[in-house]
Amino acid sequence: MSQAQLPEDDYIIGASEREIARLGQQHAIWRERALAAWRRGGLKPGMSVLDIGCGPGHASFDLAQLVGPKGEVIAVDQSDLFLRAVEAGAKARGLSNIRTVKADLGALDLPADSVDFIWSRWVLSFLPRPADLLKRLSKSLRSGGVFVAHEYGHYETFGFHPADPVQDRFIQAVKASWRAFGGEPNIAKQLPAMCAEAGWSTEYLTPHIFTTRPGEMVWEWPVGWLKSDGIDRLVELGFLAKEDAQRFHGVVQERADDPLSILTTPLVMEVIAVQGMN
């Protein structure tokens, strides 16, 4: 079976103005954990940071402020829409130290010894050959440089309680869609081995997961995605039956109306690795 294809400036979840807003809310919810990960990774003023799969730049803006005017953020994405959002957002914030690069990560190749710090969040799970990317990035990462990733490690923790069989079919459809386009939904479990192949030493591993209820801030992160594009996008791509999509929309609303329902988010692993000698 041949690998499915998307337009070069799109990705599985979709690139749209609505997605830009959703990603902003997502970053706001995860911002504290990202900041903590960057501190653990030793992010410092003056560093050159590579933000791969930067999307509309919500993390890039924080990184640019932290590395300061003597540092630089290289924001890489394949979507023109997202990169225009990065440029507009940087201008609105008075940030002159963000440089955007349009590139397919499958072919990204940067100058040797050009960056001090690499950030990846929910990017590697969508790539057909993430190990190849890490090997190429290893050439650009200076000796002692740091790679920090937040990537899915056990997507199956995503779900509502009380459960409904249709949510299991939805999770299977999500995983099937990623794999059809060459990705791996639980990529984080493979990262330590990939880092070793790239010449990096994994120094830190920890899981991140939320448990939330209707009306809470975190609830709106996954539920907002489900209500906007998360379910219907899978129908559009041919991975979920329309009747299952209709049923799951109903379940999502039923759980939102039930103050006793609980939602657990997909488990994300934080991986911090350090470059040895190039």
Give the per-residue pLDDT at 277.
53
Give the pLDDT of residue 7: 47
**141 in a structural domain:** yes
Residue 4 lies in a domain: no
Residue 162, preceding peptide bond in cis (omega within 30° of 0):
yes
Which 8-state DSSP code applies to residue 128? Answer: S
In a domain, 262, yes or no: yes
Q: Give the SS3 label for residue 6.
A: coil
Residue 9 has a pLDDT of 44
- Bridge partners of 208? 268
pLDDT at 229: 81
List beta partners, residue 73.
49, 98
Q: How far is CA 25 from CA 56, 133, 144, in A?
A: 12, 28, 33
Give domain status of residue 86, yes or no.
yes
pTM for this one? 0.90
265 found inside a domain: yes
CA 109, 112, 115, 120 torsion: positive or negative? positive
What pLDDT is recorded for position 235?
Answer: 95
**Residue 116 sits in a domain of what CATH number?**
3.40.50.150
Residue 182 lies in a domain: yes
Q: Which domain holds residue 240?
A: 17-275
Q: Mean pLDDT in runs of 10 for the chain (278 residues)? A: 45 59 83 97 98 95 97 96 94 97 91 96 93 96 97 96 96 95 95 97 97 94 88 94 97 97 97 84
CA dihedral for 89, 112, 71, 197, sign (positive or negative): positive
Helix, strand, coil shares of the chain, percent, nearest 5, are 45, 25, 30
Structural domain total, the chain: 1
Q: Is residue 156, in this structure, part of any structural domain at all?
A: yes
Residue 82 within a domain: yes
